[in-house]
Structure 1
Amino acid sequence: MTTPLLLEAMKTDPAHAAWLEEVGTDLLEWGAASRTEHGFGWLDSNGTLDPDHDLELWINCRMTHCFALASIRGTESSRDFAELAAHGLSALSGAFHDDEHGGFYSIIARETGEPVDDSKQAYAHAFVVLAASSLVEAQIPGAEELLETALEAHARFFESEHGMFADTYSRDFSNCEDYRGINANMHSVEGLLAASAATGRLELFERAAVIVERALAFAKDNGWFLPEHFTTAWEPRPDYNREEPAHPFRPYGATIGHSFEWARLALHTAAGFEGQFSDATRAQERASALRDGALALAEKACETWGIDGDGGFPYTVDWDGSPVVHERMHWVVAEAIGAAAVLFRTSGDAAWEERYESWWQWAKTTTIVPGRLGSWVHELTATGEISETTWKGQPDIYHAYQVTLIPRLPAWPPLAHAVATEARSR
């Protein structure tokens, strides 16, 4: 049986491909307004810099990653995306880097570039690895040195006895928080896959694969709702943050957007096994298990669509599937769309194509501001009103920009390497 591929379908649907390109370009234009002297700042809902926010490492990395992708693709614009990517590299190598203790500061002052929060967070360091990998693929001068520095710093969080990354250290890496989280490990997988492709280091791929397998095991043991929070021995903490359920990074309950992200990353990893170890029986077995886990995780997340409103996914649900935080986050639907694209491509199941189209239609009518495709409302109520319970402003283009690319690229190699391969083939 011939399996239909979303990638091929989109190449025969120029209108949709052109619309994705338009949305992506507008997002880049929106994000370019975040440039400041020392990096990239926090944008408000009008697309201007919010003076109440200093410069956060994860935002700077995400912006740098997106501009590097645009530079590789040669996106048509009056903006010089290579220069913006280089600006991000300069900020990461300069003001954000701790020259004394190593690693990268979490937050620096917008006006001076001095550290405001000097803790070292695995979540943000994973994004340094991702950004640096994309900069290498974009051939930005200094990128290889930054990637090596980032990988060395990121590795300091790794706990070999658990095969997972710790979460937060003090500035000098002497004290580690009594908390372990799946979120930092998810983005570590993303960064390690990208770094493996950029450097050819298969041990980085293997480390990522083991983490994905561990995460899927946690989800399977919990009815395919993935626990987010753990003890230092990696025992689930199901009641963590019950009193602060809408936390932007550590919410209580199951985070639906993360289920879709993990599903997509599992499929990328499975494709990586097949692409790099096609003759290895064990690799094929691992790839098959990853695909099965990705499908189970995504199907469970799909059960929450419109559970408390006219559509959309709630931010979080309780362990029985009932909504906890009802708000609709832009990044959740973006990740759902991306996962649906890769699930359809890798399975051929038309149900995922239907979901892909349906979820895009919902995003078009609720989340993307008409006439301003770069403006994605970051948070809505279950009934569609603008909300700021968890997120203030519109600081992030990463999830939205990536989902304009994922449907047009193969499941392997990772995003920046795939974009670079496509650019070289023109």
Structure 2
Amino acid sequence: MTDLLSPFLLPETSWLRHSAHRSWLEAQGRRLLDFSKAAKMPDGFGPLDDEGRLSPDATPDSTITARMVHAYALAALQGVPGARPMVEHGVQALLGPLRDTEHGGWTAGPSDPRGRKQAYLQAFVALAASSAVLIGAKDARELLKEAIAITNDHFWSEEEGVMRESFAFDWSDEENYRGANSNMHSTEMCLALADVTRDRTWLNRALRIVTRFVHENAGSHGFTMPEHFDRHWNLLRDYHRDQPTHALRPFGMTPGHFVEWSHLTLKVEAALLRATGEAPGWLLPDAQALFETGIETGWAADGKPGMLYTIDWERRPVVDRRAHWVQAEAATAAINLLKRTGHGRYEKWYRTIWDYIDNTLIDREGGSWFNEVGPDGTPSEEIYAGKADLYHAYQSTIAPVLPLSPSLGTAVLETGAPF
């Protein structure tokens, strides 16, 4: 039940020591898996409305498809019936109708076949491929080979140690932008690829990304996480000031990303210790500092419970919606810090966050979780419409019972069903 690198650090009173809590997590995960099966379409997976239905004009979405492949692969590794066919359906979609057969790579979906190719999506395709390989899904290795080639040929900047952001569909017109969000998810991608391919290059890349964004950028901004830069690494303070509720690149800073970077930084440390027995000494304190600023600036910053969406440069609330993924990542960060340190403060936050999720976000009538709510807990759609895909919520139900390293899919494979 405890982390392989710190097997005795969970307090005796920790929720994770109780079978009832582990059973509760398992039940929530199964509920999310069942609800999300309705997102399946002939050519991939699409977004669901509040009632868990595809709209009549829904089209497959490449990001949703990739994230569903990853999530159902985790379920298949646990022996959940019905999960493997979902993975194989998604793999065929990513190799077929969702893939650009002329130029390679992936755009947002068939509704935007000549759209931009984004590092954010690329990270999820590679993550999905790595997870699908772990269950031996048909053609998963072909998808993984393609995803790695696209990452190496177009997105990875060896000079900068980060991912380039986006290109036109034909790989021209590189965007004058470097983003924290896409590189955060690319860190997760790199950790998974390191485990599945056994190629240490990916672990080195994960460390380089975290060094740039966490140790250097966040470290020089009081362990807040600036999100937006140009290609010369000039901070774009006014970026999307006119789009504060942008779903991927909102104005200001996102406390949910502070805590998400926090637990990814812990996972990089754990992966390095597992692989080499050594890791930079700053990884743990930086992860702790990011969690603290995330909680300080995001949790109940307007006097209401829950962690809000964005803050400005003076750390004042900008968008007060409580996105489901923010709470999920905060819970994961709290439990990973508890496993790493044994400090009771993190147990307290783990319980507080899950209490909020249970009482406010879990939709016991419509299913799944509300994608976002207002400060008073009323469902809203200022940032996100409909119900979210599996990725954030489902991972938050299995991460607590797995070690920090290896990455989630490999951890399930090596340890067996986690519950």
TM-score by length of 1: 0.93
Task: Label 1:7 to 1:29 Cα distance change in 2 as closer, same or farther (>3 A).
Answer: farther
1: CA distance between counterparts of 2:291 and 2:125? Answer: 27
The one-letter amino acid paired with 2:109 is I
Matched, 1:320 2:318: no
Q: Does 2:395 align with 1:402?
A: yes
1:162-191 deviations in Å (ceiling 9; x for gaps): 111111101110211222211111111111
Aligned counterparts of 1:184 and 1:382: Cα–Cα separation in 2? 27
* Cα displacement (A) at 1:383: 1.5
* 1-structure distance, mates of 2:26, 2:336: 18
Answer whether contact 1:7 1:345 (CA < 8 A) is retained: no
Superposition deviation, residue 310 in structure 1: 2.2
Kindly state the Cα deviation for residue 2 of structure 1 after the two structures are TM-superposed: 8.6
Stretches of structure 1 lacking an aligned partner (at least 5 in a row): 110-114
> For structure 2, which runs of at least 5 residues remain unmatched after alignment?
1-5
Alignment-derived partner of residue 162 in structure 2? 164
Letter aligned with residue 334 of structure 1: A
Alpha carbons 1:7, 1:409 under 8 Å: kept: no
Note if 1:83 corresponds to 2:85.
Answer: yes
On the 8 A contact 1:135/1:143 being kept in 2, the answer is yes
Match of 1:48 in 2: 53
* Aligned-residue offset at 1:7: 11
Q: Which amino acid aligns with 1:228?
A: E
Provide the residue aligned with 1:125 in structure 2.
122
Distance 2:418 2:250 in 1: 43
Q: 2:203 aligned to 187, 205, 215, which one?
A: 205
1:102 pairs with 2:99:
no
Report the residue type matching 2:132 in the other structure: L
- Paired with 1:237 and 1:371, the residues of 2 have a C-alpha distance of 42
1:254-274, CA deviations, whole angstroms, 9 ceiling, x for partnerless residues? 111111110010000000111
Q: C-alpha displacement at 1:9, in angstroms?
A: 4.9
Residue number in structure 2 paired with 1:39: 44
Instruction: Tell me which residue corresponds to 1:342.
Output: 336
TM-aligned CA distance change 1:332 to 1:300, over 3 Å: same
Of the candidates 300, 306, 309, which is equivalent to residue 300 of structure 2? 306
SS at match of 1:187: helix
RMSD of the alignment, in Å?
A: 1.9
Q: Determine helix, strand or coil for the equivalent of 2:318.
A: strand
Q: How does 1:180-329 map to 2 (within 5 A)?
A: 180-216=178-214, 217-278=216-277, 283-284=278-279, 286=280, 288-303=281-296, 304-329=298-323
Letter matched to residue 255 of structure 2:
I
Q: Does 2:148 align with 1:154?
A: no
For the residues of structure 1 that align with 2:58 and 2:65, how far apart are their CA atoms? Answer: 13
Moved over 4 A (4+): 6-11
CA distance in 1: counterparts of 2:15 and 2:200, whole angstroms: 31
| Paired amino acid for 2:315 | G
Q: Is the 8 A contact 2:73 2:84 kept in 1?
A: yes
- Structure 1 residue 13, shift from structure 2 partner: 0.8
Per the alignment, do residues 388 and 212 of structure 1 end up closer, same or farther by CA in structure 2, a change over 3 Å counting? same
What residue identity is the alignment partner of 2:386? Answer: G
- Report SS of the residue matched to 1:210: helix
SS at match of 1:324: strand
Whole-angstrom distance in 2 between the partners of 1:171 and 1:366: 41
Identity among equivalent positions (%) equals 38
- AA aligned opposite 1:49: L
Determine the structure 2 residue equivalent to 1:356: 350
